[in-house]
Amino acid sequence: MANLDWTRLGFAYRKTNTILSCSYKDGEWGPVESHTDDNLTISAFAGALHYSVECFEGLKAFRGADGKVRLFRPEENAKRLQRSANFIGIAAPSVDRFLEMCVRVVKENIDFLPPYGSQASMYLRPTLIGVNPQLGVKSSTECLFLMLCAPVGAYTGGTLQPSYTVISRDYDRAAPNGTGSFKLGCNYAASLYSYNLAHKLGYEAVLYLDPSHHAYIDEFGSSNFFAIRDNSYITPKSDSILPSITNKSLETVAKELGMTVERRQVPVEELSSFEEVGECGTAVVITPVYRIDDKPALESQEVKPYLFGSKDQCGPKSLKLYKMIRGIQDGEIEDPFGWCLFV
């Protein structure tokens, strides 16, 4: 096993043994190739570099209590990548090819897979880019599919530290009827200005509103929004948010735990009635939110704060949901939904 301090990994680039690639040219996918060098040679005229002909995924592999290695719901990521690629008009790998490359990249980098109990895991970053030289705005005809990985820590060291967030009313991450529901690099570029500004102001995350009305909650910059009131799990229904695989899993678990699930428009004012609020996504499953500031603009002095639970503790229902998902990922709880793919 690689000689790393697994408890201090954070979420950062780290050189591993290999990356995998597979090329699409002349209407066909070629063989999967393994490379020890992370550097690519592509045309400076590649569509990915000019017109953001790019989409990607994020998923994790875990070393379980039983010594087995599990990938969490990789088929869902394969299908979401196909949906993103279809939107930008490029070829995507088949689900089988996607899964084969997930398994292989974990095997080739197994010494970077953190040990059970460290709260760390291996993050997989499937990435699809348009590579043929072009000048005009067009979907690419040649693509490169990459399967990358890196060992990562739980963002917050596994302590479920609640976060301090702000609503962005002066910047949107997605347009109405736009690209918000696809995992395209361009969406993240669109969120960087507001994220950087919010970060400078001391906030850990930005909560975006629906871009048509600015009346309903959409999602955070890199995670979905959920709230808990009474025995209900409430999460926004919107065409401009990423369909999070973690959120979908939490909805299933919430129902399993006897909660009601409401996926519907969530007006901003409803924040005042929620007992618990959280961010959810692959990175940490759940980050509890203890405060959301609503301001007319990010830099405005006028603030309407919404507070939830404790500043240093996750709410009880969020914690229950978190433990069930993490238990399944770590092989501590039987996986009744067949979510895990064994490596």
Ligand X SMILES: Cc1ncc(COP(=O)(O)O)c(C=O)c1O
Which residues are at the interface with ligand X (CB under 6 A)? 58, 219, 222-224, 242, 244-247, 281-283
Going along 113-204, which residue ranges are E strands? 121-130, 143-152, 163-168
Q: Which is nearer to ligand X, 9 or 46 (CB)?
A: 9
Minimum CB distance to ligand X, residue 57 (Å): 8
Q: Which is nearer to ligand X, 198 or 283 (CB)?
A: 283
Minimum CB distance to ligand X, residue 41 (Å): 28
Q: Which residues contact 67 (CB under 8 A, 6 or more apart)?
A: 116
Minimum CB distance to ligand X, residue 318 (Å): 15
Partners of 302 in the beta sheet? none
Minimum CB distance to ligand X, residue 198 (Å): 15
In this structure, which long-range contacts are made by residues 292-297, counting pairs with CB atoms below 8 Å and at least 24 apart in sequence? 292/165, 292/166, 292/167, 292/207, 293/165, 293/166, 293/167, 293/203, 294/166, 294/167, 294/169, 294/268, 295/166, 295/167, 295/169, 296/169, 296/170, 297/169, 297/170
Q: Which is nearer to ligand X, 58 or 64 (CB)?
A: 58
**Are 250 and 232 contacting, i.e. CB atoms less than 8 angstroms apart?**
no
211 three-state secondary structure? coil
Minimum CB distance to ligand X, residue 73 (Å): 8
Tokens of 249: 């899993």
Phi–psi pair at 319, nearest 5 degrees: -65, -40
Q: Which is nearer to ligand X, 46 or 217 (CB)?
A: 217
Alpha helices in 52-184 (DSSP H): 74-87, 95-108
Active site (annotated) includes residue 183:
yes
312 dihedral zone (left: phi>0; alpha: psi -120 to 50; beta): alpha
Minimum CB distance to ligand X, residue 244 (Å): 3
Closest CA to 282 of 243, 309, 308, 238: 243
Q: Which is nearer to ligand X, 194 or 223 (CB)?
A: 223
Closest CA to 125 of 158, 106, 148, 100: 148
Q: Which is nearer to ligand X, 51 or 188 (CB)?
A: 188
Question: Which of 183, 295, 311, 323 is the catalytic position?
Answer: 183
126 three-state secondary structure? strand
Kindly list the catalytic residues.
183
